[in-house]
């Protein structure tokens, strides 16, 4: 006895594009209502939201003081010196990239009353509570989240970015972060250089071998030169290519993006509600 095949229901066919458009047309009233409601919600959002401006600063590895002189020599010794200075410059810039949002910089910022007072305006809505970091760790987390360092088109340049409702405060924070970080690196390099100089001076007094004294003298001259570079009143780790400036118009919220997104969501919600009501 053979089993009979189940009858095929030819009425269950796949929907075509015209079927979908027909359903959209039937749901037009629901879609219109929800689209209007979401447009009103978007208007309310834009009214209550505080506009944020984008501040940015372009920085680069600071140029060594003697690079031009070494390049002008054309001699092998000058070329090697220039390469060493380039290496030190890149190493200092790498320090900058890794500590500008660290706890050490955050601790100095917390001691600045102008910086702390500026946080009162850093809230998305008028009714929101302002964010106030209570420790250096919290301030460091804020810097990691809000002060962004990004590359500039694959070049050695970097762009520091920060967004805040107050234009002047946004530019001031970037300038202070750059200055504090660079000064901190300069101070640490100066301490390390002085320690090496002291060690080499002691070694010089204990060495009688002429070749050793000649080598130590060369090292001392290099460290003295480095100390002179660090002591100059100019950026040591990160030079400023473009000082901090701010956008003319708010970057958040963007009505040209917000309205289309909210209206599209309203249309989708209206279509879904129509389908649930008529196919339940």
Q: Which regions of 187-263 does DSSP assign to beta strands (E)?
A: 238-246
CA quadruple 186, 190, 196, 200: dihedral positive or negative?
Answer: positive
Collapse the DSSP code of 159 into the 3-class scheme (helix H, G, I; strand E, B; otherwise coil) and give the result: strand
- pLDDT higher for 94 or 21? 94
The CATH number of domain 53-246 is 3.30.1490: no
Q: Convert the pLDDT of each residue in 242-271 to its tens digit.
A: 999 999 999 999 889 999 999 999 999 999
Q: Convert the pLDDT of each residue in 100-139 to its tens digit.
A: 999 999 999 999 888 888 888 888 887 888 778 889 999 9
pLDDT bracket for residue 71 (50, 70, 90): very low
Q: Convert the pLDDT of each residue in 24-33 to its tens digit.
A: 888 899 999 9
Q: Tell whether the model's pLDDT for residue 10 goes beyond 70.
A: no
**Contact indicator for 142, 131 with CB cutoff of 8 Å:** yes
Mean per-residue pLDDT of the chain: 85
Q: For a pLDDT cut of 90, what percent of the chain falls above it?
A: 54
Collapse the DSSP code of 202 into the 3-class scheme (helix H, G, I; strand E, B; otherwise coil) and give the result: helix
Structure tokens belonging to residue 90:
């890149």
Which letter does DSSP use for residue 56 in this model?
E
Residues with Cβ within 8 Å of residue 267, at least 6 apart in sequence: 31, 34, 35
Which residue is associated with the tokens 């300038």?
175
Structural domain spans, the chain: 18-49+254-278, 53-246
């Amino acid at each position: 006895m053979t089993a009979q095949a189940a009858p095929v229901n030819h009425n269950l066919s796949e929907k075509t594009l015209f079927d979908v458009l027909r359903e959209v047309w039937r749901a037009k009233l629901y879609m219109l209502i929800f689209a209007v409601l979401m447009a009103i919600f978007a208007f309310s959002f834009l009214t209550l939201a505080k506009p944020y401006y984008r501040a940015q600063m372009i920085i680069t590895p600071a140029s060594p003081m003697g690079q031009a002189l070494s390049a002008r020599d054309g001699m092998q010794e000058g070329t090697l010196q220039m390469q060493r200075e380039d290496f030190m410059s890149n190493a200092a810039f790498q320090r900058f990239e890794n500590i500008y949002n660290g706890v050490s910089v955050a601790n100095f910022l917390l001691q600045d009353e102008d910086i702390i007072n500026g946080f009162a305006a850093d809230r998305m809505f008028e009714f929101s509570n302002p964010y106030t970091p209570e420790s250096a760790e919290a301030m460091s987390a804020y810097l990691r989240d809000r002060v962004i360092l990004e590359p500039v088109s694959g070049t050695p340049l970097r762009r520091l970015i920060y967004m805040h409702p107050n234009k002047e405060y946004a530019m001031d924070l970037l300038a202070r972060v750059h200055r504090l970080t660079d000064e901190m690196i300069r101070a640490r390099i100066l301490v390390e250089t002085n320690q090496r100089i002291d060690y080499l001076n002691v070694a010089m007094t204990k060495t009688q071998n002429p070749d050793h004294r000649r080598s130590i003298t060369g090292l001392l001259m290099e460290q003295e030169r480095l100390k002179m570079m660090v002591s100059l009143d100019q950026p040591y780790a990160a030079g400023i290519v473009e000082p901090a400036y701010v956008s003319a118009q708010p970057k958040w919220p963007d009505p040209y993006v917000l309205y289309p997104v909210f209206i599209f969501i309203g249309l989708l919600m209206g279509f879904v509600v129509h389908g649930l009501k008529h196919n339940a």
